[in-house]
Structure 1
Amino acid sequence: MGHALQPFDEDKENTVSNPIYLALDLPRLDNAVALAQKVRQHVGGLKLGLEFFCAHGHHGVHEIAKIGLPIFLDLKLHDIPNTVAAAMQAIHVLQPSIVTVHASGGRAMLEDAKAAAGEHTKVVAVTVLTSLDDGDLSRMGVAGSAHDQALRLADLAQEAGLDGIVCSGHEVGAIHKRWKNGYLVVPGLRPAIPGVSHGDQKRTVTPSEARNAGASVLVIGRPISRAEDPAAAARAIEATL
């Protein structure tokens, strides 16, 4: 096992004031590092998802952490409580600022995940994936709308003592009203810029709309990572907040 990472100490003012986390899910580690270096002055943190973690593991996280920004491990852990707790303990050494679990894993799993997390790690529960809509949920046997399900799962996460949740921009305002101090993460954002595709995201809003509705963290990927000039794209989005 490698040595524990030292807490980041660079760009502290920027990470506090800038809620943008860049989704850094690239297949090659050198490309991910290069992209992060380009935008580091214009984002508040870096999100590493399942694709990145499966490809690069602890080593990849260590390399990205050298850039000096907070790390968001978006692993969406979902298993029996004991297994999720063990997984959470296994990533202590990486000192992530944020880790995701699935709210649908149930209260016991959520409680054990939070209890096993590092002291400085926020544990947030994914409510309804932004790739799902009402029709998808209906086919899965979930009654009500995506909005209703997100609120139910947000209530469960709050009752379980988590730090916050992940939801689409369509639900963040309603959840913020119910959970004033919740740490609310909103992915699937698409800036109001000509030519920006929604891709596989079905329930999207703009970064400024999500921020104004109460989002704590704005997760943005392709609009920055696939831009001709990623740093300029990040600056442009930051300027709208």
Structure 2
Amino acid sequence: MSNDARNKLAIALDTSYLDQAVSIAKEVQPSIGIAKVGLQLFSAAGQRAVEEIRELGMDVFVDVKLHDIPNTVRGASKVLGSLGARFLTVHASGGVEMMQAAVAGLDEGARSAGVDAPTVLAVTVLTSDPNASEEALRWRVEAAVAANCGGIVCAATDLSVIRAVAPTILTVVPGIRPEGTPTHDQARVATPSGAIRSGADILVIGRAVTNSDRPGEAAERILAEVGQAV
């Protein structure tokens, strides 16, 4: 399977145990190119999580959804930018100035460490929210574009609105569930192939793989489905 399909997949390492996260990452790495270090794992292991996953050769997606005053966000982003992560999330509801601070902080931190600057991803509406208004979604996408964010995190059901507002922006879509798997606490979900055909660039896969008895095989099946859709 081509790297094009593999690099469209991110595994959500939502655990409090770094050893478990690294073990899952190793098992799915042949099929998935990006590892998402979310708030739970980052709270437990901090920068060690980013460093150990990077050592495996995977891109790291730091999903801590920054949302604070611009100065605080810039400072935190500077620290995170120095870690060599590929992506960092901020809440678009924080506004243009806050997101601009994140972009500036990331660039500054990456330059100080001699690494490529990661992409700021603006989180529009959480996939657990079933009542997202199109007006709010459009405003947040417009704000992210104005702040020079490189990408958007959104539900697959929002992709048509995103593409109408920002046709070329990178789209990262969580809430991905293969046909026949539980939706858990996600209110707006999509299949891997459905999301790709709707315009998603990167899919975040979580419990459909990590809860499997054979995560590597589950990841391989999703890769095959995405490869066909691509």
Aligned counterpart, 1:225: 210
Deviation at 1:15, TM superposition (A): 6.3
Matched, 1:200 2:185: yes
Find the counterpart in structure 2 of residue 152 from structure 1.
Answer: 139
Cα distance between partner residues in 2 of 1:203 and 1:149:
16
| Backbone CA RMSD of aligned residues | 1.5
In 1, the alpha carbon distance for the partners of 2:25 and 2:6 equals 18
CA contact (8 A) 2:50 2:85 kept: no
Note the alpha carbon deviations across 1:44-69, whole angstroms, 9 max, x for none: 21000000000001122211211111
Residue aligning to 1:81: 70
Offset, 1:147: 3.5
- What is the match of residue 129 of structure 2? 132
- The worse-fitting range, judged by mean Cα deviation, of 77-86 and 113-122 is 113-122
Q: Distance in 1 between matches of 2:38 and 2:212?
A: 20
The equivalent residue for 2:222 is 237
Partner of 1:117, secondary structure, is: helix
Q: Which amino acid letter does the alignment assign opposite residue 144 of structure 2?
A: A
Higher mean displacement: 37-46 or 60-69: 60-69
Report SS of the residue matched to 2:137: helix
Identity across the alignment (%): 39
Secondary structure, in 3 states, of the residue corresponding to 2:82? helix
Report Cα offsets for 1:202-224 as digits up to 9, x if no partner: 01111111111111110010000
Q: Please say which of residues 168-177 and 71-80 is displaced more in the overlay.
A: 168-177
Gaps of 5+ in 2: 108-115
In the alignment, the residues of structure 1 paired with residue 4 and residue 118 of structure 2 have an alpha-carbon distance, to the nearest angstrom, of 15
Answering whether residue 38 of structure 2 is matched by residue 49 of structure 1, we say yes
CA deviation after TM superposition for structure 1 residue 17, in Å: 5.0
Moved more, 113-122 or 32-41: 113-122
Name the CA shift for 1:167/1:98 in 2 (closer, same or farther; >3 Å). Answer: same
Question: How far, CA to CA, are the matches of 2:4 and 2:93 in structure 1?
Answer: 30
Residue 198 of structure 1: SS of its match in structure 2?
A: coil
TM-score normalised to structure 2 length: 0.90
Q: For 2:27 and 2:6, how far apart are their aligned partners in 1?
A: 19
Q: How many residues align?
A: 217
1:170 equivalent among 157, 171, 183: 157
Residue 185 in structure 1 maps to residue 210 in structure 2 = no
Distance 1:75 1:96 in 2: 12
Which residue of structure 2 lines up, in the alignment, with residue 123 of structure 1? 120
Question: In the aligned structure 2, how far is the partner of 1:66 from the partner of 1:172?
Answer: 33
Residues 92-149 of structure 1 deviation map (CA, whole Å, 9 limit, x = unaligned): 2211100000001111101111111135310011010011121xxxxxxxxxx43332
Name the CA distance, whole Å, in 2 between partners of 1:210 and 1:31. Answer: 28
Q: Return the alpha-carbon distance in structure 2 between the equivalents of residues 74 and 58 of structure 1.
A: 13
Question: For 1:152-178, what per-residue CA distance to the aligned partner results, in whole angstroms no more than 9, with x for missing partners?
Answer: 211111112111111100001221232
Q: Answer whether contact 1:188 1:204 (CA < 8 A) is retained.
A: yes
Q: Does residue 9 of structure 2 align to residue 26 of structure 1?
A: no
User: In 1, are the aligned partners of 2:37 and 2:49 still within 8 Å (CA)?
Assistant: no
TM-score (norm: length of structure 1) = 0.86
